[in-house]
Amino acid sequence: MSAVSRFLDLPVSWGSVEELAAEILARVNRGTPIYHASLNAAKMALYRRSEEFRQNLRAFDILTPDGVSIVLGAWMCGGSCGGRVPGIDLMGALLAAAESEGLSVYFLGARPDVLRTARTRIESRHPRLRIVGARDGYFPQREDFVVARQVAASGADLLFVGMGSPRKEDFLINHREVLRVRFAMGVGGAFDVWAGRVGRAPRWMQSGGLEWLYRVRQEPRRLGARYLRDAIDCALLIGEWWVRCALGRADDHRT
């Protein structure tokens, strides 16, 4: 059974990939729509900069700690209940569960060639998985409603959205009532990993919270400066919150 604790002003669900996947599927089978987002340094940097993104992130039904910065930040603020939950691992567990339970899925995101390859590899691993639709993520924002209607028309139970932030969070929350899926999850660059375009870090780096470093080594020019900026913003956000919490505890003690 997963646990929920506060990180900043967000309720974060902690547990193993298997526990969280089982809870999500149980809620899906009860007919409760559930929208999921993973938290990492990049999202917390956006959370610090954008009021719109803060409001959208708070609208998700379940938030899980993808980045090591979230685990460390929650520990500093006294709200940590476990380790990180890589979004791609949770996606893999949900795909396996969907295959065994006969649930249908829709893939949205990535470039057309990447998505085709990812779909082929997923079908190879899960031959009985019902994939009822797939569309690349390169469409203008003015077409969001049309795409959401296409997803709804497919009758998909589970939707996986592989786009960047805040694009995917905005899309999911702003069109939730149109999509009408039982579960939706933003998976970032997961389709690139499924397609073999981006490799995952060795297991020891994943366990040690160093997967971000492996990604920077793969694409230093594209990711280096961005990761540094996001890490600084995330650290500032956590530091500001920690100070407020410490001052609040001090005030409570004096009274």
Residue by residue, DSSP assigns 133-177 as EEE-S---GGGHHHHHHHHHHHT-SEEEEE--TTHHHHHHHHTHH
In a domain, 254, yes or no: no
Closest by CA to 237, choosing from 77, 88, 123, 14, is 77
Maximum separation of any 2 CA atoms in the chain, in Å: 63
In a domain, 42, yes or no: yes
pLDDT at 242: 75
pLDDT at 80: 67
In a domain, 218, yes or no: yes
pLDDT at 249: 54
In a domain, 76, yes or no: yes
Residue 55 to residue 37: CA distance in whole angstroms: 13
In a domain, 19, yes or no: yes
Which tokens hold the place of 62?
């379940």
Residue 162 to residue 165: CA distance in whole angstroms: 10
Residue 43 to residue 49: CA distance in whole angstroms: 10
Rounded alpha-carbon distances, angstroms, from residue 94 to 69, 74, 90, 180: 24, 26, 6, 18
| Full-model pTM | 0.90
Q: Which amino acid is at 230?
A: D
For 35-63, letters b (16+ CB in 10 Å) and e give: bbbbbbbbbbbbbbeeeebbebbeebbbb
Residue 96 to residue 223: CA distance in whole angstroms: 31
Work out whether strand 3-7 and strand 10-14 pair parallel, antiparallel, or are unpaired. antiparallel
Rounded alpha-carbon distances, angstroms, from residue 186 to 32, 38, 108, 164, 247: 18, 7, 9, 9, 35
Q: Residue 127, Cβ neighbours under 10 Å: how many?
A: 8
In a domain, 75, yes or no: yes
Q: Where are the alpha helices (DSSP H) in 16-166?
A: 17-29, 41-49, 51-58, 68-76, 87-101, 112-125, 144-154
How many independent structural domains does the chain possess?
1
In a domain, 255, yes or no: no
Domain that holds residue 154: 3-249
**Could you tell me the mean pLDDT of each successive run of 10 residues in the chain, 255 residues long?**
82 93 93 93 91 95 91 77 89 97 97 98 98 97 97 98 96 96 96 91 72 73 75 83 67 42
